[in-house]
């Protein structure tokens, strides 16, 4: 058995934020894609979002994860910059939530899917295959 000190919070390696060019359509003054700052989503945050996005399906009699809603929430939760909660930014896209905003800012389906996959890989978040199959059926 190892020393207790190895397990103390202050000795835990912290995962650093990363920067990612989420879209080619938002560029800086030099015409280069603007980098978005992303942070890792914690286990507790992930569990809370999973619970929030899980609904009882009265047709099947089972609980079902709304995968699209879950991934939009996780993706927007990971974004540090731009601040998706900024009212001016939301108003400029005529939306009222971070999830709606990220979909408007990343309005190219391929870019949005690439972004969501990047957030999943960065945070090591995965949706079980059974839930993805169930989502595809609906």
The answer to whether residue 33 sits within a structural domain is yes
Higher pLDDT: 127 or 5? It is 5
How confident is residue 123, by pLDDT bands cut at 50, 70 and 90?
low
- Count how many Cα atoms sit within 13 Å of the Cα of residue 3 in the half-sphere of its side chain: 3
Nearest alpha-carbon partner for 106 in 26, 34, 28, 11: 26
Segment 67-113, tens digit of pLDDT: 999 999 999 999 999 999 999 999 999 999 999 999 999 999 999 99
Q: Considering the domain boundaries, does residue 21 fall inside one?
A: yes
Strand partners, 38: 18, 79
* Whole-model pTM over 0.85: no
CATH code of 54's domain:
3.30.2220.30
Whether the per-residue pLDDT at 135 is higher than 70: the answer is no
Mean pLDDT calculated for residue range 110-135: 70
- Whether the pLDDT of residue 128 is over 70: the answer is no
Overall size of the chain counted in residues: 138
Residue 94 lies in a domain: yes
Whether 27 contacts 12, CB under 8 Å: no
Model confidence pLDDT, tens digit, residues 8-66: 988 888 888 999 999 999 999 999 999 999 999 998 999 999 999 999 988 888 999 99
Closest CA to 44 of 36, 56, 32, 52: 52
Residues facing residue 35 across a β-bridge: 21
| CA pair distance 113, 91, nearest whole angstrom | 24
Structural domain harbouring 93? 14-137
- Number of structural domains in the chain: 1
DSSP string, 70-120: HHHHHHHHHEEES-TT-HHHHHHTT-SSHHHHHHHHT-SHHHHHHHHHHHH
pLDDT over threshold 60, residue 136: no
């Amino acid at each position: 058995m190892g020393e207790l000190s190895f397990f103390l919070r202050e000795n835990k390696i912290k995962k650093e934020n990363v920067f990612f060019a989420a879209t080619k359509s938002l560029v800086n003054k030099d015409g280069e894609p603007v980098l978005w700052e992303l942070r890792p989503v914690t286990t507790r945050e992930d569990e809370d979002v999973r619970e929030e996005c899980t609904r009882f399906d009265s047709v099947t009699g089972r609980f079902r994860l709304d995968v699209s809603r879950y991934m939009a929430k996780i993706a927007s939760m990971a974004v540090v910059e731009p601040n998706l909660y900024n009212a001016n930014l939301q108003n400029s896209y005529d939306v009222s939530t971070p999830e709606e905003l990220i979909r408007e800012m990343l309005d190219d389906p391929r870019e949005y899917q690439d972004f969501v996959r990047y957030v999943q890989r960065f945070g090591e978040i995965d949706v079980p295959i059974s839930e993805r199959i169930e989502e595809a059926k609906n």
